[in-house]
C-alpha cells in the first residue's frame, strides 16, 4: 500500500522509510514557531525546568502578531520585550510588532518550504500547506521541540477533498470554506486527519485563495491540511527558499485515503455564517438586511492581497454607512506595502475605513471591541459569544466582498448587487 504526501513528510522527519496513520513516531521538525500571548507560559516552563539555551535556536521562529501595539494598561509590552531579549540571547529568529501574522511570516520568509515539518502553537497555520509544508499544532509542546530539537507526534489520517470547476464572479474561497465547515464540523470524518486538497479546481485558485482555505480547514475538524505543489506554488517556494533545502512529495498511485469528498467550485455562492456556531453557514440572502455596527477584514483566513483587492473593488468610490465602523488589517508588512503601492489603502481611507497594523488585531478582540447588542460582520475565524467583547454581541462570518458590501449598506448585503450596478457613490 502506497504512502500519501503527509505520510512521506512525517517519515522524512522521523528518519523512517514509511509511517502509518495513527502511529506514534519521534520526529525532528524543521522549524518551531510561537507567538506573544502564549510566550509568558512557554518561558515559565523553561525557567522551571532550568533551561537557558536551545538545541537549535536557528529553528525557532518567534513572532509578535496578536498584540501589535504595547498599549497603556496592558501587560503586552512586557511580552514584546521579553521575547526580543530571549531571541537576542539565544539566537532565535524574532519578528516584532507589525511584522504580520506568523502564518504569513513563515511563508514570506521562506521557513515554510515543500516537504518540511513545522511545529506551531496553532492549527490555523495549516496555511503554510500552500507550499507543501506540513503544520502540526503542539500547544505547550513547542517548548519540548525548541529545547530538544525533537518530539513525538501521531501520524495524521489522510483525507482527500477534490475540487472541480471554478469560482464564479461574486463567490469567494471563504464561501467554500464555510460550506466545508458546515458539512464536516459535526462529524468525525476529519478527526486527527490531514486534509489534502486535490483536483483540477486547485489550478484555478490563487496562492492567496489556497492559503485562506487551508487556514479554515481546522474548523471543519481536521488537524492540518495541504495543497499540491504545482508549478505556481513551486515558483513561489523556490524564490522564498533562497537556496535552502526542500523536497516535493507526491501521493503514490495506490495511496489510501480514509475519507474522500468532492466540491464543485462553480456551485459556490456567497455565504454568511451565523453566530454562535461555526457550522451555521447560510446563503447571504437568508440574512440580508440584518443591521451591523462593525465590519472587519482581518485574520489568517482573509487578509491577503486577493482579499484586500476584493474589498477595494466594492469600496472604491463608495462610503461606509455612517453608523458602521470598519477595520482592515493586512496579513503582513509586505502585504501592507503592496496594498499601498496598488492604491488600496487610499481607497479604504476615502471610504471611511481604518487600516490597522499587520497582525491578529480584530480577529481575537484585541481591537474592534464590541459593546452589548452590537453586530459585526467579519472575515475572521471565530464567531462564538464573547469572542470580540460583550457576550451579547453577535459576530457573522463572511468573505471580504460580503463584508465590504455590508459596510456600505449598513446591513448584511450581497456584493453582487453592488458590483453588478458598477456605479460609484458620490
Q: Do 253 and 288 lie in a common domain?
A: no
Closest listed residue to residue 258, CA positions, set 185, 188, 158: 158
Q: Do 253 and 357 lie in a common domain?
A: no
426: in domain:
no
In tens digits, the chain (426 residues) has pLDDT values of 899 999 999 999 999 999 999 999 999 999 999 999 888 888 888 888 888 789 999 999 999 999 887 776 677 888 888 999 999 999 999 999 999 999 999 999 999 999 999 999 888 999 999 999 999 998 777 888 888 999 999 999 999 999 999 999 999 999 999 999 999 999 999 999 999 999 999 999 999 999 999 999 999 999 999 999 999 999 999 999 999 999 999 999 999 999 999 999 999 999 999 999 999 999 999 999 999 999 999 999 999 999 999 999 999 999 999 999 999 999 999 999 999 999 999 999 999 999 999 998 898 888 899 999 999 999 999 999 999 999 999 999 999 999 999 999 999 999 998 887 664 443
Give the chain's domain count. Answer: 2
Cell output for 38: 502564549
Q: Do 140 and 197 lie in a common domain?
A: yes
Q: How many CA atoms lie within 13 A of 194 on its CB side?
A: 32
pLDDT for 30: 97
121: in domain:
yes
Q: Do 234 and 291 lie in a common domain?
A: no
pLDDT for 386: 92
Closest listed residue to residue 232, CA positions, set 199, 208, 196, 265: 208
Which of the listed residues 264, 281, 302 is the one where a domain comes to its end?
264
Instruction: List the domain range (segments joined by +) for residue 305.
Output: 273-417
pTM of the model: 0.95
Contact 61, 32 (CB under 8 A): yes
Cα-Cα end-to-end distance for the chain: 64
Q: Do 160 and 278 lie in a common domain?
A: no
Closest listed residue to residue 328, CA positions, set 274, 400, 409, 273: 400
pLDDT for 347: 98
Q: Across the strands, what pairs with 31? A: 118
What does DSSP assign to residue 389?
A: B
355: in domain:
yes
Cell output for 351: 471610504
| Distance in angstroms (rounded) separating the CA atoms of residues 361 and 296 | 10
Q: Among all chains, which residue has been given the C-alpha cell 503514490?
A: 252
DSSP string, 250-314: ---TTB--SEEEEEEGGG---EEEPTT-TT-EEEHHHHTT-B-SEEEE-TTTS-SHHHHHHHHHH
DSSP string, 392-421: T-EEEEE-HHHHHHHHHHTB---HHHHHHH
289: in domain:
yes
Q: Do 187 and 300 lie in a common domain?
A: no
213: in domain:
yes
Q: Do 260 and 288 lie in a common domain?
A: no
Contact 282, 396 (CB under 8 A): no
Which of the listed residues 264, 287, 310 is the one where a domain comes to its end?
264
Q: Do 282 and 256 lie in a common domain?
A: no
pLDDT for 196: 98
Q: Do 169 and 80 lie in a common domain?
A: yes
| Distance in angstroms (rounded) separating the CA atoms of residues 348 and 287 | 25
pLDDT for 72: 67
CATH number at 411 reads 3.30.499.10
316: in domain:
yes
What is the bridge-based pairing of β-strands 117-120 and 134-137?
Answer: parallel
| Distance in angstroms (rounded) separating the CA atoms of residues 258 and 344 | 44
392: in domain:
yes
Q: Do 250 and 322 lie in a common domain?
A: no
Q: Do 26 and 51 lie in a common domain?
A: yes
Amino acid at each position: 500500500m502506497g504512502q500519501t504526501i503527509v505520510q512521506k513528510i512525517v517519515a522524512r522527519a522521523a528518519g523512517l522509510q514509511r509511517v502509518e496513520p495513527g502511529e506514534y513516531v519521534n520526529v525532528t521538525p524543521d522549524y518551531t514557531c510561537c507567538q506573544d500571548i502564549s510566550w509568558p507560559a512557554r518561558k515559565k516552563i523553561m525557567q522551571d525546568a532550568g533551561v537557558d539555551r536551545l538545541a537549535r535556536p536557528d529553528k525557532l521562529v518567534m513572532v509578535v502578531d496578536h498584540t501589535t501595539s504595547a498599549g497603556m494598561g496592558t501587560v503586552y509590552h512586557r511580552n514584546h520585550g521579553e521575547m526580543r531579549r530571549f531571541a537576542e540571547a539565544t539566537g532565535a529568529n524574532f519578528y516584532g510588532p507589525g511584522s504580520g501574522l506568523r502564518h504569513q511570516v513563515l511563508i514570506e520568509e521562506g521557513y515554510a518550504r515543500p516537504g518540511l515539518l513545522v511545529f506551531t502553537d496553532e492549527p490555523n497555520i495549516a496555511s503554510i500547506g500552500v507550499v507543501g509544508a506540513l503544520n502540526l499544532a503542539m500547544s505547550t509542546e513547542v517548548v519540548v521541540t525548541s529545547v530538544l530539537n525533537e518530539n513525538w507526534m501521531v501520524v495524521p489520517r489522510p483525507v482527500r477533498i477534490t475540487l472541480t470547476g471554478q469560482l464564479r464572479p461574486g463567490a469567494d474561497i471563504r464561501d467554500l470554506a464555510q460550506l466545508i465547515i458546515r458539512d464536516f464540523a459535526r462529524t468525525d470524518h476529519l478527526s486527527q486527519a490531514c486534509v489534502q486538497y486535490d483536483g483540477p479546481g486547485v489550478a484555478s485558485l490563487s496562492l492567496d485563495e489556497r492559503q485562506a482555505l487551508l487556514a479554515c480547514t481546522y474548523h471543519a475538524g481536521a488537524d492540518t491540511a495541504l495543497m499540491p505543489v504545482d508549478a505556481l506554488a513551486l515558483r513561489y517556494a523556490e524564490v522564498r527558499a533562497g537556496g535552502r533545502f526542500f523536497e516535493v512529495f507526491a501521493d503514490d498511485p495506490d495511496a489510501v485515503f480514509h475519507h474522500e469528498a468532492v466540491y464543485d467550485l462553480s456551485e459556490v455562492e456567497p455565504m454568511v455564517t451565523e453566530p454562535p456556531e461555526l457550522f451555521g453557514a447560510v446563503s447571504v440572502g437568508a440574512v440580508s438586511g440584518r443591521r451591523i455596527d462593525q465590519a472587519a477584514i482581518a485574520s489568517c483566513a482573509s487578509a491577503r492581497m486577493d482579499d484586500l483587492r476584493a474589498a477595494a473593488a466594492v469600496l472604491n468610490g463608495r462610503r461606509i454607512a455612517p453608523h458602521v465602523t470598519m477595520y482592515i488589517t493586512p496579513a503582513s508588512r509586505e502585504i501592507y506595502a503592496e496594498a499601498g503601492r496598488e492604491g488600496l489603502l487610499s481607497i479604504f481611507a476615502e471610504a471611511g475605513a481604518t487600516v490597522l497594523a499587520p497582525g491578529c488585531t480584530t480577529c481575537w478582540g484585541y481591537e474592534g471591541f464590541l459593546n452589548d447588542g452590537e453586530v459585526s460582520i467579519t472575515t475572521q475565524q471565530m464567531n462564538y459569544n464573547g469572542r470580540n467583547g460583550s457576550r451579547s454581541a453577535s459576530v457573522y462570518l463572511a468573505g471580504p466582498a460580503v463584508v465590504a458590501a455590508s459596510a456600505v449598506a449598513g446591513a448584511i448585503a450581497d456584493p453582487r448587487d453592488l458590483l453588478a450596478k458598477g456605479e460609484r457613490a458620490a
